[in-house]
Amino acid sequence: MQKLRLLTILGLALGLMASANADTLATSGISAGEDGSRPVRGTTRAQVESKYGSPVSKKAAVGDPPISRWEYQDFTVYFEHDRVIHAVLKR
């Protein structure tokens, strides 16, 4: 019985160790937008439109808090209320 318990624990431990493997996301060459290629967090809608022009499309706000998005040719900007929360480059 003791041997079976030990084998079970060993099997579980090996199984957990095997599943703890993770992939690495390579982010070299990707900036957070500080280079001016896209808006940074906290920028207002008016500032974004002033600097980058009118977006290709504007998607209405959904959810609570309201999250809306503006799509430009090279990136998409996500807003919470009137402020940028994220800007993502398109591939």
pLDDT along the chain (91 residues), means of 10: 75 65 58 73 96 96 96 96 95 83
pLDDT value, residue 3: 73
Determine, yes or no, domain membership for 56.
yes
Determine, yes or no, domain membership for 17.
no
Determine, yes or no, domain membership for 59.
yes
pLDDT value, residue 66: 96
Range of the domain at 68: 37-91
Residue 43: CB atoms within 10 Å: 21
Q: How many helices (H) and strands (E) does the chain have?
A: 2, 4
Determine, yes or no, domain membership for 5.
no
pLDDT value, residue 41: 95
- 0.75 cut: is pTM over it? no
Determine, yes or no, domain membership for 88.
yes
Please report, for residues 24, 27, 31, 72, 75, the alpha-carbon distance to residue 89 in angstroms, rounded to integers and kept in the order given: 20, 13, 10, 9, 4
Strand ranges of the sheet holding 83-89, from the earlier edge strand across to the other edge: 57-62, 67-71, 75-80, 83-89
Determine, yes or no, domain membership for 60.
yes
| Single-letter code of the amino acid located at 72 | Y
Determine, yes or no, domain membership for 32.
no
As for how many domains the chain has, the answer is 1
